[in-house]
Amino acid sequence: MIYMSNILVTRSSMPAFDEYMDEIKSMWDSHWLTNMGPKHKTLQKQLMDYMGVENIDLFTNGHMALELTLQAMNLQGEVITTPFTFASTTHAIVRNGLKPVFCDIDPITMTIDTDKMERLITDRTCAIMPVHVYGNVCNVEEIERIAHKYELKVVYDAAHTFGETYKGKGIGSYGDASCFSFHATKVFNTIEGGAVCFKDKHLGEILYDLKNFGIHGPEEVDAVGANAKMNEFCAAMGICNLRHVDDEIEKRKKVAERYRMHLENVEGIQLNTIQKDVKSNYAYFPVIFEEKAFGASRAEVFDKLADNGIGARKYFYPLTNTFAAFHGQYDVSQTPVALHISKRVLTLPMYADLALEEVDRICNIILSCKQ
């Protein structure tokens, strides 16, 4: 069945039309449209300051940020990760000739369960790729301890956590690298785009070459790279959106608070946790429906919302370790918590301009499903 939604699960943040036109006007003089131009360099510097990180480089999307970071580290063997994520995370590992080893998730934060991680480490383990989920931050201290003990690289998939801080420190500061998506659906967007935050400047030099086909100089190609350079139009959109992102996050906060007003303490509904020491960006509003306690299944709620022109998303579903692309290589029974949540979670509409009256309507429809 194809549903037509009047309210989408997300909507891209955009600056005023004239603001974007003013930002790109100079490009008609310079004719510099890509290849690390002035807009690219401006956005790079602004993001470094905003995110509180030592180094950052920009990419054409978040997936290439992940994939090229793993390539730049020249890893071999197994990478511990989670199946409760978007396809990009797992595909970046596999496309580098590495083997994903799936760790289950914590039932509250829905991030990788660090209590189960250490037992998965073998002599072939080379890295950990944890995922900050829905803006929930992983147990970064425990991951750092484990990585240090076993001399493993840590690459965070931080696609959901733009602008967040943990204990006052920018979330991109953790691990050997943190990879961000600036896709149109994210809290901060460059239309399409991504970034890698990193500490080791040598890693940054390799990444810079890899995103430009592996070209190291005019007559020198050191690696088999890709074309992953952010163009100037995307960078310009990022410059504009960055001016407004704090206001956008504040509006998202009000939407989240309105949802909580209606849905908190409803039997059979689990809402996203509020993490201590995390400055949230309110990226998503996930709700887990326990059918027996709530009286309706996730599918029934999804269909009822769709019937009323409201788009929700089964996110993340299915788990990446069940993808047909992997031909049954992985045993989903090894990640029972992730499997349980994937069958019950819906992310509700969440964007800055969502009217609070519409949030009321969405919640009333959900609660009308309760038996």
Examine the pLDDT at 4 and tell me if it is beyond 80. no
What is the share, in percent, of the chain residues with pLDDT greater than 70? 99
Q: In the 8-state DSSP scheme, what is residue 324?
A: G
What average pLDDT does range 296-305 have in this prediction? 98
Q: What is the mean pLDDT of the chain?
A: 97
Confidence tier at 343 by pLDDT (50, 70, 90): very high
Examine the pLDDT at 20 and tell me if it is beyond 50. yes
Q: In the 8-state DSSP scheme, what is residue 227?
A: B
What average pLDDT does range 294-300 have in this prediction? 97
Angle ∠(288,292,293) on CA atoms, nearest 5: 70
Examine the pLDDT at 299 and tell me if it is beyond 90. yes
What average pLDDT does range 57-85 have in this prediction? 98
What average pLDDT does range 64-77 have in this prediction? 98
- Cis ω on the peptide bond leading into residue 336 (within 30° of 0)? no
Nearest by Cα to 72 from 180, 231, 179: 179
pLDDT, tens digit, 9 for 90 and up, residues 169-179: 999 999 999 99
Distance, CA of 329 to chain centre? 25
Q: pTM for the full model? A: 0.96
Confidence tier at 143 by pLDDT (50, 70, 90): very high
**Domains, in order of start, for the chain:** 17-239 (3.40.640.10), 245-368 (3.90.1150.10)
- State how far the Cα of 56 lies from the Cα of 69, in Å rounded to an integer: 12
**122 or 370, higher pLDDT:** 122
What average pLDDT does range 282-289 have in this prediction? 98
Neighbours of 149 (CB within 10 A): 10
pLDDT, tens digit, 9 for 90 and up, residues 30-68: 999 999 999 999 999 999 999 999 999 999 999 999 999
What average pLDDT does range 343-370 have in this prediction? 97
pLDDT, tens digit, 9 for 90 and up, residues 209-240: 999 999 999 999 999 999 999 999 999 999 99
Bridge partners of 156, per DSSP, are 178
Q: What is the DSSP string of 27-69?
A: HHHH---SSS-HHHHHHHHHHHHHHT-SEEEEESSHHHHHHHH
Q: In the 8-state DSSP scheme, what is residue 366?
A: H
Amino acid letter at 248?
Answer: E
- State how far the Cα of 90 lies from the Cα of 99, in Å rounded to an integer: 9
Examine the pLDDT at 1 and tell me if it is beyond 50. no
Q: In the 8-state DSSP scheme, what is residue 321?
A: G
Give pLDDT, residue 371.
77
What average pLDDT does range 77-100 have in this prediction? 98
In a 3-state reduction of DSSP, which class is residue 156? strand
Confidence tier at 5 by pLDDT (50, 70, 90): low
Q: Is residue 15 within 8 Å of 241, Cβ to Cβ?
A: yes
Nearest by Cα to 57 from 313, 191, 230, 188: 230
